[in-house]
Structure 1
């Protein structure tokens, strides 16, 4: 296979990222029969031109970082097996009698569905999570936090929600993310991120629950440091190089 010329590589990389949100340096090097160093130089140049967004070990499409956020009904249909795998692992961490915060997110809806035999105080500002938990409310002291309703995620946010969440303490807090990039937990909405931060700051044990597709993915707002979280719970088959990289910031449960 003949190595591509520089402009051919640029066009190929942009085309690939029009169909795949993230691509790895090693995969691009193999496709184009060039060294990984050459691909890194290409990505630096394309990033400078605003054609791609560089992330650890590869690149992300600019459109995926700017795309309109899917609503929770749409997200509920995406990567369901991966979300359910992670949800089951997270649910096992909860002990009877604890006060637990569960944030917005479809993976966390699946997690709540795994808590049928648990007796606990469950606090959430997510109406979809509340609805999932309500089916088992006989076992819960179930607290729904009100506030300004955000239609995209189904979460209640803003001053009212923050005031109520600040007044409580939590044995465990479980939050989702739109992406994780380096030491940053990313979400699409600043207010929702600020609400998550308030809870995490008041929790004894802090967990991020996300499928493997959120790793190495950027978004709009950095609401917390990954290294300040106790454990990242993700899929068993996440790429080893990602486990090694993110393992420098946090304990990763991908068993």
Structure 2
């Protein structure tokens, strides 16, 4: 089957079923999984589908309903794990780090190997992951209004508490990055993350490559004001060139 015919068939199946797996597509067109993955990655970069772990889904579905942190744990696990481990390499003994909400950041604190560290977070899942780390870290949980879908504490109480602190490094996640705009689904959650970054000596955003060239409801920070974007080694060359004009790329 010609590539143009495969692309047309993939788009038809995604539009009809809303979600299709790599296996389904490969069997339907009698080609290898690797060929389908290349096609899906190309369509994702062209903003025609949403590439997810194991397959693809209808692009229009991604922005209709915000996924909970439990749902996000089930997608892009390989990509998130790579980014999380790369972020760990930027943390040193005796650092005080602010960690915002996000499933990649949960993985980051779970994988930390340094022995002495102070971790400050407004995310209950991140706090739990840090608590379960084999190292006995100094943990500070920032309180506030609880946002159940993301597991984050936010609002005036959280913001005022963070404003009294300073951090060696700040790490935040995003729902999407479009040009220099770092975006998330909730305005108050974004404000709290922004304050955490403002009070950090070094500022990093962690985002697997599927978050790049996409945006969500609220822009909470400018990529030009962070010290680095931590992402996957398989970031497309054109995207790496685009985002490297705003900040340093760690891949």
- TM-score, with structure 1 as normaliser: 0.76
Per the alignment, do residues 64 and 242 of structure 1 end up closer, same or farther by CA in structure 2, a change over 3 Å counting?
farther
Q: Aligned with 1:163: secondary structure?
A: helix
Q: CA deviation at 1:250?
A: 1.0
2:154 corresponds to 1:157? yes
Report the equivalent of 2:32.
none
In structure 2, C-alpha distance between the alignment counterparts of 1:62 and 1:138, rounded to whole Å: 41
Report the equivalent of 2:30.
none
Q: CA deviation at 1:15?
A: 6.2
Alignment: residue pair count: 212
Q: CA deviation at 1:98?
A: 1.0
Residue 99 (structure 1) aligned to one of 92, 96, 101: 96
2:189 corresponds to 1:180? no
Report the equivalent of 2:119.
122
Q: CA RMSD in A?
A: 2.5
Q: Which runs of 5+ in 2 are unaligned?
A: 20-44, 50-57
Report the equivalent of 1:37.
none
In structure 2, C-alpha distance between the alignment counterparts of 1:108 and 1:17, rounded to whole Å: 30
CA deviation digits over 1:165-224, x for unaligned, max 9?
111001100000000001100000000000011111111100001111000111000000
Asked if 1 retains the 8 angstrom alpha-carbon contact of 2:48 and 2:59, the reply is no
Q: CA deviation at 1:67?
A: 1.6
In structure 1, C-alpha distance between the alignment counterparts of 2:162 and 2:229, rounded to whole Å: 23
Q: CA deviation at 1:65?
A: 6.0
Report the equivalent of 2:244.
247
In structure 2, C-alpha distance between the alignment counterparts of 1:163 and 1:84, rounded to whole Å: 32
Report the equivalent of 2:144.
147
In structure 2, C-alpha distance between the alignment counterparts of 1:209 and 1:155, rounded to whole Å: 17
Q: CA deviation at 1:116?
A: 3.8
Q: CA deviation at 1:138?
A: 5.1
2:209 corresponds to 1:216? no
In structure 1, C-alpha distance between the alignment counterparts of 2:197 and 2:231, rounded to whole Å: 19
Asked if 2 retains the 8 angstrom alpha-carbon contact of 1:116 and 1:139, the reply is no
2:231 corresponds to 1:234? yes
Q: Which runs of 5+ in 1 are unaligned?
A: 4-11, 21-55
Residue 78 (structure 1) aligned to one of 75, 79, 83: 75
In structure 2, C-alpha distance between the alignment counterparts of 1:181 and 1:16, rounded to whole Å: 28
